[in-house]
Structure 1
Amino acid sequence: MVGSPSNLEESQQSCLPFQWKSTHPVFHISLLKPVKTSTIPNRHQEPPPPIIIEEEGEWQVFQILDSKLKRGKLWYLVEWKGFSQNSERSTWEPMEKLRIVLNW
């Protein structure tokens, strides 16, 4: 165990979406803010749908955008199929983590 019990109680672990997989999931409690309710009268906001987290999900590659060598390893910039149109749909992945079938 690292840290005192008081330090552990002041930290919160969160379940982050796939797109934020490189972000450390533990935050100090001072960085967290409570959700603010709407000030608009008669407005009822539905809670967001649950985020389903998979330990090792399988995703379909939409296209390979780029490649680079990093510390002697080949990395690919992968655009994933099924994600909304934004920069979070593309991630750098090492070659070992991809099972790519090329149909040329």
Structure 2
Amino acid sequence: MRAVHPIFHVSMLEPSTPNLFLTCSTPPPAPVIIDGEPKFEITCIVDSKINQC
């Protein structure tokens, strides 16, 4: 069997957009130290994906 090559037609391509998360000025909150180890509190789950093996 031949190898598959990642070839795309030019009509399927579009310009890249700048990553808005890199310009975020709010630093992440500091972890809470419990039993000498840093712990983070999760406020919400934004997205999830189930992988089927």
Q: TM-score range by the shorter chain?
A: under 0.3
**When the two structures are superposed, what TM-score results if normalisation uses the length of structure 2?**
0.27
Q: Rg: which structure is higher?
A: 2
